[in-house]
Structure 1
């Protein structure tokens, strides 16, 4: 049994992770919330799962490196600086960072990449995501993950081609852009649809999360997979062998 430590254990995902650990045959080493001592937790576990906040990431990585334990990062809203910190930590420990730990979303991103590659720029790409009213970042980490997959399939840079919301007189749609729209309300765990739109036909690839348990199970599966890995930066597709 792997001893799993959960950072951000008081949040919705943290609670879902705690409920799922035993069901997947592993041992809950403990958890810490905001202001908790991550270093102590890292010292008594085999792997960490972090669903806390971007502001806490640097300290969490430092604790994982000091203890020499791998870490799965599912925190969303990360910026360029955070990815630099992850790259640096990956020189010392195994790190898996993802915008979504769902196995279904991981496969969806693979399909989006393939579709974007084969359909070409004659097909416009728009990504629509819906989440509960309490979500604080937009577009969601999953939407950005899917956008990155689409851009990669086209051999393009997402940062140069993303259009995040439209308002007013925006002008015609530019060829090659990837649009994002975010809906917020209710208790929706997560819905994502990637629309491919061409003249006279449309293709939609979708994923619906019915509860947070799927993300918890995916995160634990990722942690299990990461246990014996050498230092480096890993991704969810590798967990599925994609």
Structure 2
């Protein structure tokens, strides 16, 4: 396996710092060649022994072929993908909360450079997405489907991108359109639960990295399938694995975790 050159955006943030640490700890597989932070915040990058800066185009000019890994925010992630598309650098995006228009913009950039996009970089969670449809089909329509997610009190978007992905997975297995059957909140006198509805609840508190539970409420029984992340290394390891994989893929479409696992 060849060494994968990576450029980390938001390198002083929670995810960025974890990516930097893990990449530097595994020199046989990864080489940190670039790190970025917002203007005025780059002083903390001085000791990384790589190209540092606050302008992606300037950094990428010195890091040809390196994979950009981005867990920042929706708008900067889309903008960074467009910059990388112009330079031909592959991109891994783990940012959550992207709107349909922003996801479409990522797909447009993916026509020019390989882009990997996953709202959850956990390999275990993405394997779970391949298992859930079989449960839905075998249990049948008598089971009500609900999703609950828990995250730390700093998370900006709700429901989480992973919870939405789980809901879309469940809806797809039932042959339903997620947007038509989703219920992201319940409040007041709303009447009985409609058949086929998929509820998604979001809890926020403390330093929870990410818990997701899918409920199958049936007649006389309940099945709960839970995925818990203990630390951010889970996401960072998945992103680094994705970086090594996407570096070898052709441009032309937006890649997902399912493509890599296949």
Q: TM-score, normalised by structure 1?
A: 0.95
Displaced runs of 4 or more, over 4 A: none
Instruction: Name the residue aligned to 1:55.
Output: 75
- Alpha-carbon contact 1:116-1:151 (below 8 Å) kept: no
Q: Measure, in 1, the Cα distance between the counterparts of 2:32 and 2:103.
A: 28
Q: Does 1:38 align with 2:56?
A: yes
Question: Which has the bigger relative contact order, CA under 8 A and spacing at least 6?
Answer: 1
- Alpha-carbon contact 2:71-2:77 (below 8 Å) kept: no
Q: Aligned to 1:188, what secondary structure does the other structure show?
A: coil
Report the CA distance between 1:118 and its aligned residue. 2.9
Q: Measure, in 2, the Cα distance between the counterparts of 1:95 and 1:117.
A: 32
Greater CA drift, 29-38 or 65-74: 29-38
Q: Does 1:148 align with 2:168?
A: yes
Gaps of 5+ in 1: none
Report the CA distance between 1:63 and its aligned residue. 1.3
Gaps of 5+ in 2: 40-53
Q: Does 1:221 align with 2:225?
A: no
Q: Does 1:236 align with 2:257?
A: yes
Query: Which residue among 61, 71, 80 is the counterpart of 2:100?
Result: 80
Q: Measure, in 2, the Cα distance between the counterparts of 1:127 and 1:162.
A: 10
Q: Aligned to 1:10, what secondary structure does the other structure show?
A: coil
Query: Which residue among 12, 15, 32 is the counterpart of 1:13?
Result: 15
RMSD: 1.3
Larger radius of gyration: 2
Query: Which residue among 189, 210, 232 is the counterpart of 1:169?
Result: 189
Instruction: Name the residue aligned to 1:128.
Output: 148
Report the CA distance between 1:166 and its aligned residue. 0.9
Q: Aligned to 1:174, what secondary structure does the other structure show?
A: coil
Cα deviations across residues 71-125 of structure 1 (Å, max 9, x unaligned)?
Answer: 1111111001101101211211111111100001111111222222332322111
